Amino acid sequence: MDFKLTEEHEMIRQAARDFANNELKPGVIERDENEEFPKEQIKKLGELGFMGMMASPDYGGGGMDTVSYVLAMEELSKIDASASVVVSVNNSLVCWGLDTYGSEEQKKKYLSKLTTGEKIGAFCLSEPEAGSDATSQKTTAIDMGDHYVINGTKNWITNGNSASVYLVIAHTDKDKKHRGINAFIMEKNMEGFVVGPKERKMGIRGSDTHSLTFNDVKVPKENRIGEDGFGFKFAMKTLAGGRIGIAAQALGIAAGAYELAKSYSKIRKAFGTEIMNHQAIAFKLADMHTSIEAARHMVMKAAWDKDNGLNYDLSGAMAKLYASQVAMDVTIEAVQVHGGNGYVREYHVERMMRDAKITQIYEGTSEIQKIVISRSILAD
Ligand code: CAA
Ligand code: FAD
């Protein structure tokens, strides 16, 4: 067993850490307040190779492993979870899905622009009446020979307006249930593709979340991903990896809040001494550090499973379930360590507490992770 990172991993982590501190930190409070998408920052992340880290170099990707990806996700999320969700969706859902299951033509046309950040991608599974219960999709794609006609509504779509390439899950044959579901590549400029208003959110307010409506959108047949009926498996397999990315995001939010709380405890004085000298505060920091370290091991193990060709459905779901709970617990305690200052914007931890909550909801709620985990452990 070897817990040591390679030199390359260390370099990637340092590059992400530098970017987060130099490029994301300035303006992070204002972007949250103004619900402003980090457009310039995402462009730079693309130029630096952070938007298609695991994708094949043949299509502009970095050809890196999942461990590198989660190291970068942790560092970016320590500072700005709104930016890191954009990175996460583009890398682990859109680029990975296309790289792994897309045709040569699809990769040439779409992937090579998504890996460089020239275009941003979105992953569209959820609907008003199909969130956790993802097989009860209502969006339809009717086979018209050389093209499909797509009708329906997706909601909660991250990068909803800033994206231009969308992976959309739709029913082609409702009688076949989940085996009659397909995945399609859609473009924003297709006729009948309508972006709805932006959601007003509790956290990750710098990311743009929209509903999308498709009114008789014609999608060429060559834009279907994989064999007919592969769409639900495509979504599940892609999400299994995506959940490792969100687990790393949760880990980063927790680690960022912990670092701020630790620093603050060393400078803030109460009752004639720095608050770190009160055992109640020191024990909070001890608990935070321990749970973050446990979450980091779980995230790394899931990434390692994926990199080594092992099944990562279970380890990824456990990592997301645990790390997202740690993100919630640690950010709440980080606010507490800051006292009144924790409740105001300039100290960052109140934003982190708001940002942490989403990690228990998207890419499968905590309850859904428990379904995945329990089915897996009870199967043998
Ligand atoms: N890999 C491959 N196939 C899988 C799979 C996996 N990990 N999980 C399920 N499947 C397959 C099953 O094998 C089955 O196919 P067969 O019958 O052909 O074998 C099919 O999918 C249906 O599986 P289930 O019977 O288990 O389906 P279910 O209706 O019980 O639902 C579920 C399973 C795990 C609850 C699933 O519906 C689910 O994951 N729900 C949550 C949805 C979700 O995570 N949404 C996230 C949206 S994206 C997002 O949120 C992005 C963002 O915020 C940034
Ligand atoms: P519901 O499914 O209605 O669940 C409500 C509650 O019931 C939850 O607590 C849930 O855990 C619980 N529940 C449901 N079924 C069960 C069960 N069988 N057992 C126990 N408890 C259960 N989706 C996308 O496709 N793409 C995106 O890019 C995307 N980005 C998002 C960004 C944000 C900010 C948000 C808020 C959501 C995003 N989503 C996205 C949607 C997200 O994945 C869903 O919100 C999530 O899967 C839950 O679905 P739901 O909201 O319909 O909740």
- pTM, two decimals, is 0.98
Give the per-residue pLDDT at 126: 98
Helix axes 81-88, 349-358, angle to 10 degrees: 30
Q: What kind of fold does domain 7-119 have according to CATH?
A: Butyryl-Coa Dehydrogenase, subunit A; domain 1 (1.10.540)
3-state SS, the chain, equals: CCCCCCHHHHHHHHHHHHHHHHHHCCCHHHHHHHCCCCHHHHHHHHHCCCCCCCCCHHHCCCCCCHHHHHHHHHHHHHHCHHHHHHHHHHHHHHHHHHHHHCCHHHHHHHHHHHCCCCCCEEEECCECCECCCCCCCCCEEEECCCEEEEEEEEEEEECCCCCCEEEEEEECCHHHHHHHEEEEEEECCCCCEEEEEECCCCCCCCCCEEEEEEEEEEEEHHHEECCCCCHHHHHHHHHHHHHHHHHHHHHHHHHHHHHHHHHHHHHCEECCEEHHHCHHHHHHHHHHHHHHHHHHHHHHHHHHHHHCCCCCHHHHHHHHHHHHHHHHHHHHHHHHHCHHHHHCHHHCHHHHHHHHHHCCCCCCCHHHHHHHHHHHHHCC
Give the per-residue pLDDT at 251: 99
Give the per-residue pLDDT at 380: 82
Cα of 360 vs centre of ligand 1, distance in Å, is 17
Q: What kind of fold does domain 122-228 have according to CATH?
A: Butyryl-CoA Dehydrogenase, subunit A; domain 2 (2.40.110)
Atom 5 of ligand 1: nearest residue by CA position: 236
Q: Which residue has the tokens 């979870």?
A: 81
* Catalytic residue set: 363
Query: How does strand 209-220 pair with strand 193-198?
Result: antiparallel
* CATH superfamily of the domain spanning 235-378: Butyryl-CoA Dehydrogenase, subunit A, domain 3 (1.20.140.10)
Per residue in 284-319, pLDDT (tens digit) is 999 999 999 999 999 999 999 999 999 999 999 999
- CA dihedral over 200, 121, 364, 284, signed as positive or negative: negative
Cα of 373 vs centre of ligand 1, distance in Å, is 12
Atom 23 of ligand 1: nearest residue by CA position: 178
Helix axes 81-88, 66-79, angle to 10 degrees: 150
Region 333-362: what's the mean pLDDT?
98
The yes-or-no answer to whether 7-119 and 235-378 have a common fold is no
Q: Assign 143 a pLDDT band (cuts: 50, 70, 90).
A: very high
Atom 18 of ligand 1: nearest residue by CA position: 179
Helix axes 66-79, 279-307, angle to 10 degrees: 150
Region 34-51: what's the mean pLDDT?
98
Cα of 316 vs centre of ligand 1, distance in Å, is 13
Atom 52 of ligand 2: nearest residue by CA position: 131
| Mutational test site, ligand 2, from 362, 369, 375, max ligand atoms within 8 Å of CB | 362
Give the per-residue pLDDT at 1: 84
Domain ranges of the chain: 7-119, 122-228, 235-378
Q: Report the complex ipTM.
A: 0.99
Per residue in 79-127, pLDDT (tens digit) is 999 999 999 999 999 999 999 999 999 999 999 999 999 999 999 999 9
* Ligand 1 pocket at CB < 6 A: 85, 89, 123, 125-126, 132, 134-135, 158, 178-179, 232-233, 236-237, 239-240, 313, 362-364, 368, 371-372
Q: Which residue has the tokens 């043949």?
A: 58
Per residue in 353-365, pLDDT (tens digit) is 999 999 999 999 9
Region 196-211: what's the mean pLDDT?
98
